Amino acid sequence: MHDRRRLGRVIWAPLVAAALSGLVIGAVARLLMRGITLAIGGLTGFSLVSTLAIIVVFVVLAVPAAVTATARPVVRHAGRWVTAVVTGMLAAGTGLSDAKTILLADESRLTTIAVLIVAFAAAVVAHGLLAQHLTLRFRRLPAGDSTPAEALGTI
């Protein structure tokens, strides 16, 4: 019984952590993207499909960091940076499509745009760190006297 709980934590902790990290950082990234669009004077509006797609991408990209959270330090750091680099490259590729618009933006808005871009970069770096932190927290949750299935009365 104890081994099943431990195996469950090994499997579910990183998956739930990746989902939560992707949800939080994906939502923050979406808001920052919208802020940049507002700052450059672009059309605004949220598309539910686009928002969900961004969050799903952030969830998937959090997996390397989450699954390496309990590994040796070099592997743990590599997992975190794989998440940050891949997320950053995808974000940079997407952001470059707006490069002309950003360069042609009103000079009075450049400071705001720069602050939003730096905040976005910080969110990208925090993405893997949050996934690893949550994984470790979920792995350390106290074990109950029963499994979740037993608590619900299904066994």
Q: Where are the domains of the chain?
A: 2-142
- For 82-85, the CB contacts below 8 A with 24+ separation are 82/128, 83/127, 83/128, 83/131, 84/124, 84/125, 84/127, 84/128
108-154 pLDDT per residue, tens: 878 888 898 889 889 999 999 999 999 999 888 776 544 444 444 44
The answer to whether the beta carbons of residues 25 and 130 sit under 8 Å apart is yes
This model's pTM is above 0.95: no
In the chain, what percentage of residues exceed pLDDT 90?
40
25-36 pLDDT per residue, tens: 999 998 888 888
Which ranges in the chain belong to alpha helices (H)? 2-39, 48-67, 73-96, 99-103, 110-139, 148-151
